[in-house]
A and B are shown apart, each in its own frame.
Chain A
Amino acid sequence: EIVLTQSPGTLSLSPGERATLSCRASQSLSRSYVAWYQQKPGQAPRLLIYGASNRATGIPDRFSGSGSGTDFTLTINMLEPEDFAVYYCQQYGSSPFTFGQGTRLEIK
């Protein structure tokens, strides 16, 4: 099973700043099969990024993903108030599909 470790656990920033969230895999992920999701309290997760760097339909371009191998990053430029939430990475290169433990992005 591939273990994903997200850092930091909590990130405190202000609107307008840039957020950089990390996801590290316990083994190299073939074809960069990493997705990122956003989850707000009381809501289901929402797909943001797939294939490490492809934005899902309707996702603003302030969200971007990058990385390969074992290290992946979600960057959110010019934070908006609605961006404060929990973010999860997921690997889908091998079963079982696993998620990171999440990064909480909170308003400073």
Chain B
Amino acid sequence: EVQLVESGGGLVQPGRSLRLSCAASGFILDDYAMHWVRQAPGKGLEWVSGISWNSGNIDYADSVKGRFTISRDNGKNSLYLQMNSLRAEDTALYYCAKDISFDSTYSFFDYWGQGTLVTVSS
């Protein structure tokens, strides 16, 4: 059974940093691209970032480019999101999502975690 478990969310002040993690199990992480998708409270879905199976292809939404860094450790079955210079508008539930392919060029998501909540507030 595929499982994605996010962690690392919490309350953080504007301008500070936070690192999210996603523990994957039930499938071979090396075989798939992975993504972060967020959902602000009461709002819709926003794709944040994606990374190919070997980290060779990485992309970001314009809203986070230059502030967020996605990475993965296939040996540890883990995906990460380093979030710097956080803003109030980054407040959201952050989902880890599995791609259907090893490549992240044309991506949709067949499994999702339950999300970790990030709140940016002073």
Chain A residues packing against B (C-beta within 8 Å)? 1, 33, 35, 37, 39, 43-47, 50, 56-57, 88, 90, 92-93, 95-102
A97-B115 contact, Cβ under 8 Å, with A44-B95, A88-B45: no
Whether A90 contacts B108 by the Cβ 8 Å rule is yes
B40-65 CB contacts (< 8 Å) to partner A: 44-47, 50, 59, 61-62
Measured CB to CB, the nearest residue on chain A to B95 is A44
6 contacts between A and B (CB under 8 A): A45-B45, A45-B109, A56-B110, A97-B47, A100-B44, A102-B44
Whether B95 and A98, one on each chain, are in contact in the complex, defined by CB atoms closer than 8 angstroms, is no
> Using an 8 Å CB-CB cutoff, how does the interface string of B61-73 with A read, 1 for contact, 0 for none?
1100000000000
**Are the C-beta atoms of B115 and A44 separated by less than 8 Å?**
yes
Interchain CB contact (< 8 A) of B108 among A39, A47, A57, A102 = A47
**A residues less than 8 Å from B50 (CB atoms):** 95, 97
Q: Which residue of A lies closest to B99 (CB)?
A: A92
* Contact present for A99 and B47 (CB under 8 Å): yes
Residues of B near A102 (CB, < 8 A) are: 44-45
Cα–Cα, bound, A40→B58 (Å): 30
Residue of B nearest to A35 (CB): B108
With both beta carbons as reference points, the residue of chain B lying nearest to A90 in the complex is identified as B108
Q: Name which residue of chain B comes closest to A49, CB basis.
A: B108
Q: How far is the CA of A35 from the CA of B108 in the complex (A)?
A: 7
